[in-house]
Amino acid sequence: MSKAIGYIYLVLTFIIWGSLYVAAKSVMAEIPATAVLASRYIIAVGALYFVMRRRGFKKVKKEHRKMFFLVGFVGYFCGIAFQLMGTNLIDASLSSLINSLNPIVIPIIAAIFLNERLTVKTCVSIALSVAGVYIILGVGGNANVIGIIVNIFSLLFWSASCCMVRSISKDYDPIQITLYAMAIAVCFAVPTAVYSIAKSPCTLSVSGFMSLLYIGLICTALSHVLWNKSLKLLPATTCSLFYPIQPLTSAVLAILVLGEKLTISFIIGAILIGIGMIVTVYERKPKKECAN
């Protein structure tokens, strides 16, 4: 039952993360990306603190403090900040393709540091899912080398932080892990946002503010709690295999909201991703022994 709940958490997480691209597009047209990063974390930290006050905080063990700091700095600040910077340097399609390679990087890191097995089924699912993402997104023409390198760093930072969360998820509430990690990220995100705004003054409209609330409360607070809950119930390798749902959701929303056409490549990619998900969750039932 816990596995089934974990799968539901994962699907919801990546659907929400997929919607982030549509919501962020309107906001970043009004304020810098660094301001979006800082604002979403400030909103999320406020919401998560309210929830944790009722649930009760657990004292962080001395040996885990370094891990909390690394999750916040490496994953929630560096990982997301590098992703935003990289997206500004290369085409969005190429950036999305690079960052969707988490299913390949996370299992490797998990195998090295968490001793999780890299099975044949996992490799097949990874290949199918990534192939589906590649077919749907394609590769953009703006191949800025620096932009590609920045996105690769983002990929490595976030993948590493996911494995770090896995290593402490059994000892703490997933909401507390998310709250502390984001609070640490805020300490680094706010100064960069202040610098960006001081350099290029800007204003935020009512619609932009509502989109920012959605990004902070749903796309950041809720989604990261669901993600960390998933890491508590399932191996990091399994969780990573659901990453292709994110660009798939973005593509669907682009069709529904932005009026983009449904292409053959989208259909083929969606089928491959669907097969990859089935391979992930399918488990053979043990054969019943025949009675003598």
* Cβ atoms of 46 and 221 closer than 8 Å: no
Q: What is the pLDDT of residue 20?
A: 81
Q: How far is it, in rounded angstroms, from Cα 60 to Cα 44?
A: 20
Tokens of 96: 């999305």
Q: What is the pLDDT of residue 140?
A: 45
* Cβ atoms of 165 and 71 closer than 8 Å: yes
Q: What dihedral do alpha carbons 80, 257, 13, 154 form, nearest 10°?
A: -20
Contacts of 11 (CB under 8 A, 6+ apart): 242, 245
The pLDDT tens digits along the chain (292 residues) read: 678 888 899 999 989 988 887 787 778 878 888 888 999 899 999 988 988 888 888 889 888 999 999 999 999 999 988 887 777 676 666 677 677 777 777 777 777 776 777 777 777 877 887 787 777 666 544 457 787 788 889 888 988 888 888 778 788 888 888 899 999 999 999 999 999 899 888 888 888 889 889 989 998 888 878 887 887 788 876 777 787 787 778 777 777 776 666 678 777 877 887 787 667 656 554 444 443 3
Q: How far is it, in rounded angstroms, from Cα 15 to Cα 1?
A: 22
Q: What is the pLDDT of residue 194?
A: 93
Q: What is the pLDDT of residue 92?
A: 62
